[in-house]
Structure 1
Amino acid sequence: MRTLLEFEKPIAELEAKLEDMKKLAEDNNVDVSDAVRNLSSAIDTLRAETFQNLTRWQRVQLSRHPDRPYTLDYIERICSEFHELHGDRTVRDDPAVVGGIADIDGVSVMIIGQQKGRKTKERQHRNFGMPNPEGYRKALRLMKLAEKFGLPIVTLIDTPGAFPGLEAEERGQGEAIARNLKEMMTLRVPVICIIIGEGASGGALGIAIGDRVLMLENSWYSVISPENCSTILWRTWEYKEQAAEALKLTAVDMKQNGLIDGIIAEPQGGAHLKWDEMSDILKKTIIKEISELEKLTPQERISERIDKFCAMGVVVE
């Protein structure tokens, strides 16, 4: 059964009326084509108005929609082949991070992403998409393997943050993320990073240093989630909507602040409604970006990558 967010309910009510109208006409052999056409037009108008005027908090809600495609859903749809690789060769395999060699329209790539779970057991198995240090070390191992064999790297980011548990800190969570930031900056192959859902803090940044950093229209990217920001400032989650506005964490905000390179439009109503259409858009974007980046030499890509990130957050007085 489809999950509805509060602002989606008026649209769903009209859609239910439309289905009832079609069924009634079919059962009674009545022509209601004009009424169906008018109601369909009203639904399209309402959907367009609703999604053009979403608040930042509503975008956050969409990024977490339980029906939204996750990393493995996209891999299944955009890759004709995918061979998953496991383990960090130090501690264990982290199921919160998936990655492997894939084929996208005849182009071989190394694709890596954070994976959440849908059912309770899978969520626990994937640790709700929150990687441990070995997840970041696995990701780096796969990136180095890609560099060795000249494969472009694609990362799909969707995490509420790196796992904050004591055991993760004991195994060097901060060091693992910091090493990824350093190593990704000088990878000689094209690196494309796409935030497909949640992009929280260092948990996201640990696989988000690339030649192109892109965001899906209804994703978010910030140093902290609205709930945690609200908890710190007001000691309650009640002000999460105000926190989201203050954080300016949407794709449009990030583009305006020069923190990402582009926004990938979602089908009207959000990616959760049209997985195949969203996957097709994503595939075309990846192929286009790889084609453009391969025109540059490795040193040109590295120099541009370093210059881009060094320019962020610089204050001139």
Structure 2
Amino acid sequence: MRTLLEFEKPIAELEDKLIEMRKLALENNVDVSGAVASLTDKILELKKETFANLTRWQRVQLSRHPDRPYTFDYIEKMCTEFIEIHGDRNVADDKAMVGGFGNIDDEYSVLFIGQQKGRNTKQRQMRNFGMPNPEGYRKALRLMKMAEKFNKPIVCLIDTPGAFPGLEAEERGQGEAIARNIRDMFMLKVPVICIIIGEGASGGALGIAVGDKVLMMENTWYSVISPESCSSILWRSWNYKEQAAEALKLTAEDMLSNGLIDGIIPEPLGGAHLDPDSAAARVKAVVKEELAKLAKIDPQERIMARIEKFGRMGVVVE
């Protein structure tokens, strides 16, 4: 059964009416093509109006939609073949961070890395709600070094509410693992494309988000902190999460206007969860386009451009 967000309900009500109208027309052999066309146009207009005027908090809600495609969904739809690789060769295989090599249309052999969430309670527990431990970031870095060794480009698909904040994660060096990833990703000689496909929270996202191109899908967010956590710090309550989302300016449009990302990937009308195939096709097209451009640039030039790009972020001149 489809999960509806509050602002999606008026659209769903009209869609249900349309289905009922068609059903009655079929059962009674009545021509209602005019009414069907009129209602279809009304639904389309309402969708366009609704999704063109979403608040920042509503974008956050869309990024967390339970039907939204996750990392493995994109990999499955983008690749003709994929081989997952496990383990950090030190502690464990973190199920929240996944990675492996895949072929895109038999044109590109690419290393995919990303956080993976679960669809049901059992999967969410196994994937730790998409929150990696230090071994997840160390696995990611191990795979990146392997990709560099074999001259394979890297595509990072980011979707996490943050790195796991548990005591055991801190004991195993969560901060050091993320910092090492950030440092070493600057120096990778192969092209690196990073795409936020859902949530992009704090260092948990940044640990695999240093690339030549950093892109965001239309209904995603990227910030140093989630709206709920920001609200709890500033107002001692989660009830101000909408105001926090507005203050954080965390949407794709905000990030692009602040020069923190390189582009936005449009989603199907209503969000990626309504048409995962189209969403994946759009991501694949952008990945292929960017890889073709990056392949023409000398590796050392790419590294310097990567460093300069991130070095410019946050610089203010008065």
| TM-score where L is the length of structure 2 | 0.99
Match of 1:199 in 2: 200
The separation in 2 between residues aligned to 1:94 and 1:241, in whole angstroms, is 32
Question: Separation in 2 of the partners of 1:148 and 1:198?
Answer: 30
The answer to whether the aligner puts 1:93 opposite 2:93 as a matched pair is: yes
Question: Partner of 2:246 in structure 1?
Answer: 245
Q: Paired residue for 1:21?
A: 21
> 2 CA distance for matches of 1:119 and 1:151?
34
Secondary structure at the aligned position of 1:65 is classed as: coil
Deviation at 1:128, TM superposition (A): 0.2
Say how many residue pairs are matched: 317
Counterpart in the other structure of 2:43: 43
Q: Which amino acid aligns with 2:18?
A: L
Counterpart of 1:156 in 2: which secondary structure? strand
How far apart, CA to CA, are the structure 1 residues paired with 2:254 and 2:280? 24
Give the Cα–Cα distance (whole angstroms) in 2 for the partners of residues 29 and 314 of structure 1.
68
CA distance in structure 2 between the partners assigned to 1:233 and 1:112 by the alignment: 34
Instruction: Determine the C-alpha separation between the residues in 2 that align with 1:209 and 1:275.
Output: 26
Which blocks of at least 5 consecutive residues in structure 1 are unaligned? none
Q: CA RMSD in A?
A: 0.4
Task: Report the counterpart of residue 142 of structure 1 in structure 2.
Answer: 143
Which residue matches 1:215? 216
Q: Aligned residue for 2:7?
A: 7
The C-alpha deviation readout for 1:74-113, integer Å capped at 9, x for no partner, is 1111111000000001101000001001001121000000
User: Aligned-pair distance for 1:315?
Assistant: 2.1
Q: Give the 3-state SS of the residue equivalent to 2:215 in structure 1.
A: strand
Compute the displacement of 1:310 (Å).
Answer: 0.2
Task: State the 4+ residue runs in structure 1 displaced beyond 4 angstroms.
Answer: none
Instruction: Give 1:298's aligned residue.
Output: 299
Amino acid at match of 1:63: S
Question: For each residue in 1:272-314, what CA deviation from the matched residue of structure 2 results, as whole angstroms up to 9, or x when unmatched?
Answer: 0001010111111110110010010101100110000000001
Query: What is the DSSP-based 3-state SS (H/G/I as helix, E as strand, rest coil) of the residue aligned with 2:211?
Result: coil
Letter in 2 for 1:149: F
Give the equivalent residue in structure 1 for 2:316: 315
For residues 80-119 of structure 1, the aligned pairs below 5 Å read: 80-106=80-106, 107-119=108-120
Q: Deviations over 1:167-189 (max 9, x none)?
A: 00000000000000000001000
Query: TM-score, normalization: structure 1?
Result: 1.00
Residue in structure 2 matched with residue 128 of structure 1 by the alignment = 129
CA distance in 2, matches of 1:174, 1:315: 27
Residue 286 (structure 1) aligned with residue 302 (structure 2)? no
Which structure 2 segments of 5+ residues have no match?
none
- Return the alpha-carbon distance in structure 1 between the equivalents of residues 269 and 44 of structure 2: 9
Question: How many angstroms apart in 2 are the aligned matches of 1:105 and 1:208?
Answer: 24
In structure 1, what is the Cα distance between the partners aligned to 2:228 and 2:57?
Answer: 10
| Matched residue, 1:65 | 65
Letter in structure 2 aligned against 1:69: P
CA distance in structure 2 between the partners assigned to 1:146 and 1:297 by the alignment: 17
Which secondary structure does the structure 2 equivalent of 1:315 belong to?
coil
